[in-house]
Amino acid sequence: MNKKRIVIVGGGITGLVAAHFLQDDCEVILLEKGEIGGMCRSKPYNGVDVDIYGGHIFNTKDREVMDFVFKILPPNKWFSHIRNASIYIEDKIIGFPFEHYMFELGNDFMETCLNEIGKAEPDTSNLYKYLLTRFGPTAFEKYFGPYNEKIWQTPLEEIGTNWINAGKVPCSDISKLRTINQAGGDNDHGMIHSNFYYPKSGGIQSLINGIKETLDKTMILDKGEEVKSIEKILGRLNVVGEDFYIRSDYVIYTGPLVGAAGEIKEWCGIPRPKLPQVYHGTDCIVAQCDFFLDNPNISWMYVPEKQYPFHRIANIAKFQELKSDIVLVECPGKTYYNQSLSIDKYPIKILDVFRHTRTYPIEPVRLHYLQRFQEEMKRHNVFCCGRWGRHQYMNMDLCIRDGMNIAKEVKQNNDK
């Protein structure tokens, strides 16, 4: 029996994982118009590997995902860390998460916040209402509002909340929060990524390289292979580009659904949903700064206040158990304009700037337009998945799980 042909559009981590799990049973062709790895790419600077799309770390509670990753890159190839994130606010360093360290901004501030948190059921109709009702107006105005307004660069009222993982948000139980604050804080308390793994060499791209090495039965077409349309003629799919026309039984699409430059014009005759600005980028700055040399225990630091153009600065050398002044500074897209940077008393010397126009999908409040389109495409054997194909803010472990699930779903469809 002839093997079914699968075309995977996009060579980021989701597409690579899907190819890995399909290539033994199907003829797999993977298309990538840029570089394999997508957002999981790294470069060395003075002996420190830097993830140029932002600091990538790995952790998961999903045993299958963990087993897969450790099969590709064995446990002895990773450093294991306990996260020690911080927040720089009011010219001081306080602990993270914010609600566990409110006491560091004063007892009166803490009491006001504790009296407001949990007074109402969280309103999930949009991100603004969710943060305001979950944490109360005082904590919202001090931290949650400014930080999220900075990072998303979009009115919070226009952002949906389906992407919010409960494991990312600490408890709002007042008695527990009071106990934590009175005990001097708690940077763990069961939160996701409270501990994490990072490759010992090669940055996060070493995981990508490891997956790619397993794809000996996958045809990879990269460097400029941009898809222009996905057509359906006489029951068969055709993936069409400038220089190719590939017939296929299934398509796995991991690219952007909305707002794409060079966007796909034809989707099996199905109108693609038209939405407003629904993604934003990041200016990732590789720099030298002595801040973490004097504060070596901090993994990374969130910076909510508007006088600083960046929202996060990462001690990327610490991930690799190195002592170095190399840091990764992340600014919301198109906000860095060659200005001098500093944090506290420490100047930031810029080595390199990577301006990415597309790093975070912004989930619209009215998500059903996208979901309806995705379900309709599935009926045509086109499976949208991954951070951009689903248009959801998914961490790396969730993208891996999605690639595994899509591969399983395609196999099940094929067996019917």
pLDDT per residue as tens digits for the range 224-256: 778 889 999 988 899 998 888 999 999 999 998
Cα–Cα distance, 146 to 130 (Å, whole number): 14
User: Does pTM surpass 0.85?
Assistant: yes
Predicted pLDDT of residue 253:
96
Planar angle of CA 187, 189, 193, nearest 5 degrees: 70
For residue 335, give every residue at least 6 positions away whose Cβ sits within 8 Å of its Cβ, in sequence order, or none.
153, 283, 309
The pLDDT tens digits for 359-373 are 988 888 877 778 888
Planar angle of CA 332, 274, 268, nearest 5 degrees: 120
Residues of the chain with pLDDT under 70: 1, 165-172, 188-193, 258-263, 274-277, 416
Cα–Cα distance, 52 to 381 (Å, whole number): 34
Q: What domains lie within the chain, and their CATH numbers?
A: 5-38+202-277+363-415 (3.50.50.60), 86-192 (no CATH), 279-361 (no CATH)
Predicted pLDDT of residue 307:
92
Predicted pLDDT of residue 103:
96
SS3 labels along the chain: CCCCEEEEECCCHHHHHHHHHHCCCCEEEEEECCCCCCCCCEEEECCEEEECCCCCCECCCCHHHHHHHHHHCCHHHEEEEECCCEEEECCEEEECCHHHCHHHHCHHHHHHHHHHCCCCCCCCCCHHHHHHHHHCHHHHHHHHHHHHHHHHCCCHHHECCCCCCHHHCCCCCHHHHHHHHHCCCCCCCCCCCCEEEEECCCCCHHHHHHHHHCCCCEEEEECCCCEEEEEEECCEEEEEECCCEEEECEEEECCCCCCCCCCCCEECCCCCCCCCCCEEEEEEEEEECCHHHHCCCCCEEECCCCCCCCCEEECHHHHCCCCCCEEEEEEECCCCCCCCEEECCEEEEEEEEEEEEEEEECCECCCHHHHHHHHHHHHCCEEECHHHHCCCCCCHHHHHHHHHHHHHHHHHHHHC
Predicted pLDDT of residue 259:
56
Predicted pLDDT of residue 412:
87
Residue pair 272/249 in contact (Cβ under 8 Å)? The answer is no
Q: CB 238: neighbour CB atoms within 10 A?
A: 18
Cα–Cα distance, 327 to 349 (Å, whole number): 10
Strands 266-267 and 312-314: unpaired
Predicted pLDDT of residue 163:
77
Sheet holding 92-95, edge to edge: 92-95, 86-89, 300-302, 312-314, 326-332, 279-288, 346-361, 341-343
Is omega for the bond preceding 296 within 30 degrees of 0, making it cis?
A: no
Predicted pLDDT of residue 256:
87
Cα–Cα distance, 86 to 393 (Å, whole number): 22
Predicted pLDDT of residue 172:
58
Predicted pLDDT of residue 161:
87
